[in-house]
């Protein structure tokens, strides 16, 4: 799987306005590709569908490094460089629905990549249900945005380490203790890239409504120049298998709101949650 773009194709994309940089001088610049029309199914599995505008984005320094390696390969450099080209970039995504750019106080969701929850359907976390619930609310409003952050697996530790923490959780540790047992941060995620990419589409002075239980997301958005008018709890998929995990999140500052907290307390069952 190669992540480079041939220089000729890169020039074509640039000339057609399909790839551009976002972020001002002195900021962490991103390379933004798109839009790519992306038909999606309704979150409830209904027969209808929507078409989102998909914008993959990557830190510009990563794209530049990959392009330099690609040029060396094209000039006959050692094939030992192939793994770097194949895996160097971490590509996140902005998904826009409806007339997002024209909305006052648009609804947004910052969603950390979760292979086990989003793809495998794991009930050990609430990530998959949260993503589907966010789409449902955005579709109901007729406009909104999801920023899907690819480097955030396991709150930033990666899929392999996340699997190890699951084993440690089965031995009695909570999700934060398990990270620390590996000598890793409890939460190493950075959401300021999301602020940069959203800022390229929001009208000046427009504040957003953030679908999240995590105050850290609001803090990072505002640090990156995106004002949050309101943070709305997003509680979905609560059950016996993830009650302990969600209780640990609540103990570390996540705000589920009164209704969500009641659901969490009702689902809590000693020994079942992870």
Active-site positions read: 187, 189
Helix, strand, or coil here: 141? helix
DSSP string, 212-259: -S-HHHHHHHHHTT--EEEEE-------TTTHHHHHHHHHTT---HHH
Q: How many CA atoms lie within 13 A of 60 on its CB side?
A: 16
134: left (phi over 0), alpha (psi -120 to 50) or beta: alpha
Distance from C-alpha of 50 to C-alpha of 41, rounded to nearest angstrom = 7
Distance from C-alpha of 203 to C-alpha of 186, rounded to nearest angstrom = 35
Distance from C-alpha of 97 to C-alpha of 109, rounded to nearest angstrom = 12
Residue 159 CA, distance from chain mean position: 14
69: left (phi over 0), alpha (psi -120 to 50) or beta: alpha
Q: What angle do CA 208, 214, 220 make, to 5 degrees?
A: 60
């Amino acid at each position: 799987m190669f992540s480079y773009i041939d220089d000729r194709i890169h020039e074509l994309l640039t000339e057609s306005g399909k790839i551009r940089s976002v972020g001002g001088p002195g900021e962490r610049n991103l390379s933004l590709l798109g839009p790519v029309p992306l038909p999606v199914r309704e979150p409830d599995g209904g027969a209808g569908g929507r078409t989102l505008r998909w914008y993959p984005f990557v830190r510009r320094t990563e794209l530049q490094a990959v392009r330099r390696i690609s040029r060396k390969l094209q000039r006959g450099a050692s094939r030992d460089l192939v793994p770097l080209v194949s895996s160097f970039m971490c590509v996140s995504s902005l998904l826009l629905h409806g007339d997002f750019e024209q909305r006052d106080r648009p609804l947004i969701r910052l969603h950390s990549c979760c292979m086990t929850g989003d793809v495998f359907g794991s009930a050990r976390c609430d990530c998959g249900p949260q993503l589907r619930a966010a789409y449902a609310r955005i579709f109901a409003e007729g406009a909104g945005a999801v920023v899907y952050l690819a480097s955030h697996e396991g709150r930033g530790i990666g899929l392999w380490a996340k699997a190890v923490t699951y084993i440690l959780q089965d031995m009695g540790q909570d999700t934060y203790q398990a990270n620390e047992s590996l000598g890793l941060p409890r939460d190493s995620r950075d959401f300021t890239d999301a602020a940069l990419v959203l800022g390229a589409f929001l009208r000046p002075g427009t504040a957003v409504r953030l679908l999240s239980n995590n105050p850290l997301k609001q803090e990072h958005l505002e640090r990156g120049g995106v004002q949050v008018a309101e943070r709305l709890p997003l509680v979905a998929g609560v059950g016996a298998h993830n009650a302990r995990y969600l209780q640990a999140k609540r103990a570390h500052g996540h705000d589920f709101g009164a209704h969500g907290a009641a659901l969490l307390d009702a689902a809590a069952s000693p020994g079942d949650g992870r």
